[in-house]
Copies of this chain bind each other. A is one copy, B any other.
Amino acid sequence: MAAMTPTAPLTPAARRVLEVATELFYTRGINTVGMELVAERAGVTKKTIYDRFGSKQQLVVQYLRARDARWREHLGGYLERAGDAPRARVAATFDALERWMDEENPRGCAMVNAYAELSDPEHPGRAVAEEQKRWLHGLYADLAERAGAADPAALGDALAMLHEGAVVARNVTGVRDAARTARAAADALMTVHGAD
């Protein structure tokens, strides 16, 4: 449940680089941020970055993994406190999202943004984003199934769509209570699907 910390074998300089890159790539965009800036902000030479990460592509992959890990950890805490009832757990995902968007997500979903920026189908960062979204849909599908929904796959997808849609609504449209609205809609959908 706790962090898997794949950041364990990182040298101190590499850890600083990854932290700085995570912040810069998210807030300014991947293509907008050059390696020189990352190096400077981390108090490191480009040489060090390339020695540790190999290429910008791979640094981007690490960035996406790191952000995803942070989100899953955040969500995990909410799920733990929610108990076992599927319905409460679904509600908890939207509470987690609300807090996350308030505190860590001023620029929308890092995975969706990266998917937009990395148009090259070969870029390994795309696979990270895809995997993250598949995981999220799987999470909701699992909760839908445990709740005894008639069509768990469809309900799971619908819940995930509300989740993603709330992020866009908050980020681009400026809907402040997007997560709460999504949570209420999710709860209503569960009722309709005959979920506990």
Are A164 and B157 in touch, CB under 8 angstroms?
A: no
**Please, which residues of chain B bring their CB within 8 A of the CB of A166?**
161, 165
When the two chains form their complex, are residues A158 and B154 in contact, meaning their CB atoms are under 8 A apart? no
Tally A residues with Cβ within 8 Å of B. 47
Q: Which residues on B sit within 8 Å (CB–CB) of A37?
A: none
Q: Give 14 A-B pairs besides A28-B119, A31-B32, A164-B165 with Cβ atoms closer than 8 angstroms.
A: A31-B31, A108-B116, A113-B116, A133-B172, A136-B173, A137-B169, A137-B175, A154-B184, A158-B182, A158-B185, A160-B165, A161-B162, A165-B166, A189-B189
A20 at the interface (CB under 8 A from B): no
> Could you list some 15 contacts between A and B, CB below 8 A?
A32-B119, A108-B112, A108-B115, A112-B172, A114-B116, A133-B173, A134-B174, A137-B173, A157-B175, A161-B162, A161-B165, A162-B185, A188-B188, A188-B189, A191-B192
* Interface set of A (CB-CB < 8 Å, partner B): 27-29, 31-32, 107-108, 111-117, 119, 129-130, 133-134, 136-137, 154, 157-158, 160-166, 168-169, 171-175, 178, 181-182, 184-185, 188-189, 191-192
